[in-house]
Amino acid sequence: MSACGPQVIQHLDADDLSRRAAARLLEKLIELQADGRVAQLCLTGGRIALTLYARLAELVSDSALDPSRLELWWGDERFLPTEDPERNAGPTLALLAGHFTLDPARTHPMPSADGVVDAAASAATYAKELGDTRFDLCLLGMGPDGHVASIFPDHPSSEPTSQSVIGVSDAPKPPAERISLTIQALNNSEEVWFLVSGEEKAPVLARALAGDIDLPAGRVAGQARTLWLVDRASAAELPYFDCTP
């Protein structure tokens, strides 16, 4: 875990989580750009994330954020054709592009399955593109089984590796073929923010926060900060702390 341990911020529900997380993300990105540099942001897929991106896009026009100084990466991708709506990158970019312009040279979706190259070879290509990039902030979801990105428990994807990006075959949730950053690459992020919603995730959230290494989510942490943005339903099995004096 990160030096100060994980921080948990509980929200009323999924809507409250996505709304407040969007405002929090905007504030963080503006802070990262304050010295004139490019902010390195790794994105995730999923329903909560898409809602967050939509709300973020609406906030940008009246803010100090400079979209041209955003470098966008993805934590994982479904190895499907470019136009397939099940891919993570397409819907996200469509949402963002409807509100502001991104620099194509700083936008890095993972390779698609349009050609004849397989997921493993495409992962190697993405690893070269990623190089020694270190994310200022990495957003992640978590599945009810404790998977993050496309790293699944009790699956070859979660085995130790020196690679930063891997092809994933026979994934336990469809589609079977995927590309994913590895635990090692995710843990190289300065900050990691988890977005977790739904009562079906309550048991595994408690395990992940307790540091259960059998879960990929329990093995991911930012170098400086790990933030869990959760809703009340997913936090149902977390310990209760009374901070009243």
List, for residues 192-224, the tens digit of each pLDDT value.
999 999 999 999 999 999 999 999 999 999 999
| 3-state DSSP assignment of residue 82 | coil
DSSP 116: S
Tell me what pLDDT residue 156 has: 96
Mean pLDDT in residue range 140-145: 98
Q: Are 26 and 56 in contact (CB under 8 A)?
A: yes
Tell me what pLDDT residue 85 has: 92
**pLDDT of residue 166 exceeding 70:** yes
Q: What is the pTM of this model?
A: 0.94
Domain over 7-191+201-213 is classified CATH 3.40.50.620 = no
Q: How far is CA 152 from CA 17, 25, 60, 106, in A?
A: 25, 26, 34, 29
Tell me what pLDDT residue 31 has: 97
Q: Are 228 and 24 in contact (CB under 8 A)?
A: no
Query: How many CB atoms are located within 10 Å of the residue 4 CB?
Result: 9
Taking each helix axis from N to C end, the angle separating 47-60 and 14-32, rounded to the nearest 10 degrees, works out to 50
Tell me what pLDDT residue 35 has: 87
The C-alpha atoms of residue 126 and residue 184 are separated, in whole angstroms, by 15
Tell me what pLDDT residue 4 has: 59
Mean pLDDT in residue range 71-93: 95
Contacts of 30 (CB under 8 A, 6+ apart): 63, 64, 65
Query: How many CB atoms are located within 10 Å of the residue 239 CB?
Result: 8
Tell me what pLDDT residue 213 has: 96
Could you read off the pLDDT of 17-56 as tens digits, one per residue?
999 999 999 999 999 999 899 999 999 999 999 999 999 9
Percent of the chain predicted with pLDDT > 90: 91
The per-residue pLDDT of the chain, averaged, comes to 94
Tell me what pLDDT residue 240 has: 66
DSSP 225: E
**pLDDT of residue 120 exceeding 50:** yes
Mean pLDDT in residue range 116-126: 90
- For residue 243, name the pLDDT band (cuts at 50, 70, 90): very low
Tell me what pLDDT residue 5 has: 83
**pLDDT of residue 245 exceeding 50:** no
Q: Residue 155 class from Cβ within 10 Å (0-12 exposed, 13-18 middle, 19+ buried)? A: middle
- Spatial CA neighbour of 218 closest among 133, 151, 139: 151
**pLDDT of residue 1 exceeding 50:** no
Tell me what pLDDT residue 116 has: 64
